[in-house]
Amino acid sequence: MNQITVQQLQDHVEKLSGGIGEHNVFHPEALAAAADYIAEQWRHQGYGVRKQSYRVRGGECSNLEITCPGTNRSEEVILIGAHYDSVAGSPGANDNGSGVAALLELSRLFKRDQPAVTLRFVAFVNEEPPFFFWSNMGSMVYARSAKRRGDRIRYMISLETIGYYSDEPDSQFYPPFLKYFYPDTGNFIAFVSNLGSGRIMRRCLKNFCSASDFPVQSIAAPSFVPGIFWSDHMAFWRHGYKAFMITDTAPYRYPYYHTPEDKPDKLDYRSFARVANGVFLMLKAEQ
């Protein structure tokens, strides 16, 4: 089946946040179980999984990576990433079980439908506090190593909290002043970048809109604007790579953000599936 279904996404989210529950360095066995689940899914899809392990707070944790070779044989790669840890006190269904579920299903489709450009899929550990922004953040460890290796990353996409949508008026909020330029209904997906990555983000946005009729908004703004850098794409900016985030806007819409109620039953899986399939077709358009 060359599409991503509601059931496939829901199964992943149920396993990660419903079955495993809160998973982070404060719950190391659960964090390891989440990593094992992701690695098992990728091996079942036919990929070889590379672990980038490092120690933090006395324990070992790992970024997980697979590569889907492109037909153009270029050394360039497009990196699609999502963090798999949940914040302390939360099972993390939307943040970020949704991003991981999409990551797993995108890799499954591209294993069957080889892309033109090589795709690298990475599940990052330790995105949530107390690691966010600092050197032990999983994506920071990864981007630093990629820079040292000289990896030719065309751009990076962060899949961050992409499972919640609402058709209710006044269901969408924004940082100061942005509310005058964007809708007040939280039924869209957002493409978010800094100014330096705006051009590549807009090109991907155009491809998404050509492939999907799902509502979408975008912003390319200075990174100091609240929310612009709030995920793993920030680590790639800091190491000189182009990157942008795809998000449902997280705390600006999702009432269960970073709470114990971020559970699988809160997500809108039909809209989520439409977004994930749109991202698949967007990436297929890359040459």
Query: What does the pLDDT average to over 98-110?
Result: 98
pLDDT for 219: 98
Instruction: List 63's β-bridge partners, or say none.
Output: 52
Q: Is 228 helix (H, G, I), strand (E, B) or coil?
A: coil
pLDDT for 73: 84
Average pLDDT along the chain: 97
Give residue-wise pLDDT tens across range 111-149. 999 999 999 999 999 999 999 999 999 999 999 999 999
Q: Are 107 and 64 in contact (CB under 8 A)?
A: no
Give exposure, 127-163, as e/b (b: 16+ Cβ within 10 Å): bbeebbeeebbbbbbbbeebeeeebebebbbbbbbbb
Q: pTM for the whole thing?
A: 0.97
Q: Which position has the token pair 């993390």?
A: 92
CATH for 6-284 is: 3.40.630.10
CB atoms within 10 A of CB 47: 18
pLDDT for 1: 59
pLDDT bucket at 20, cuts 50 / 70 / 90? very high
Query: What does the pLDDT average to over 13-29?
Result: 97
What ranges do the domains of the chain cover? 6-284
Give residue-wise pLDDT tens across range 172-206. 999 988 999 999 999 999 999 999 999 999 999 99
Give residue-wise pLDDT tens across range 213-270. 999 999 999 999 999 999 999 999 999 999 999 999 999 999 999 999 999 999 999 9
Q: Which position has the token pair 């529950």?
A: 21
**Largest separation between any pair of C-alpha atoms in the chain:** 48
Q: Which position has the token pair 């690691």?
A: 131
d(CA 233, CA 235): 5
Q: Is 120 helix (H, G, I), strand (E, B) or coil?
A: strand
Residue 160 Cα distances to 45, 148, 244, angstroms: 23, 26, 10
Q: Are 157 and 117 in contact (CB under 8 A)?
A: no
Say yes or no to pLDDT of 110 above 70.
yes
Query: What does the pLDDT average to over 56-83?
Result: 95
